Amino acid sequence: MRPMKFKLLVCLFILSGSTLAQATCLRSVSEIKANGIKASWQETTANDGKPLVIVIADGSNGLVYSASKAGKPWLIGEASFCRSGDTTTVTLNNTTVTENVPMVTRMVLPPTLSAPIVNDQIKLAGGAWRGTFVGR
């Protein structure tokens, strides 16, 4: 193969690879539901018998989430669901923690949590905290 054709082939491969890898983010609750993603997630790993429940809603600038435990608000923030190939990743961002969250957890919980959705489950982890959630 001549060097010029080879260079063109490499350029096309690089350009097509970056196009294929781009994520498409879903912008509303109706879009996530249309893509088979749940708008409510319940923790299955709560060791106190009180699972954290995450609810996704439409906000004024995109998706938002709220998380509650035993009916009390724990977390609020922005949410995104982005697809790249066969993988959908959820990101909970700009998290605000309420006074209902124990101090130790407040100190270690990062402002952003992200994980892929696998078999209708999300395994979130931040600091010393970890939780597995199922869509409902």
For the entire predicted model, the pTM comes to 0.82
- Spatial distance between the Cα atoms of 29 and 14, rounded to a whole number of angstroms: 34
pLDDT per residue as tens digits for the range 41-99: 999 999 999 999 999 999 999 999 999 999 999 999 999 999 999 999 999 999 999 99
- Domain ranges for the chain, please list them: 23-135
How many C-beta atoms lie closer than 10 Å to residue 75's C-beta?
20
pLDDT per residue as tens digits for the range 107-119: 888 999 999 999 9
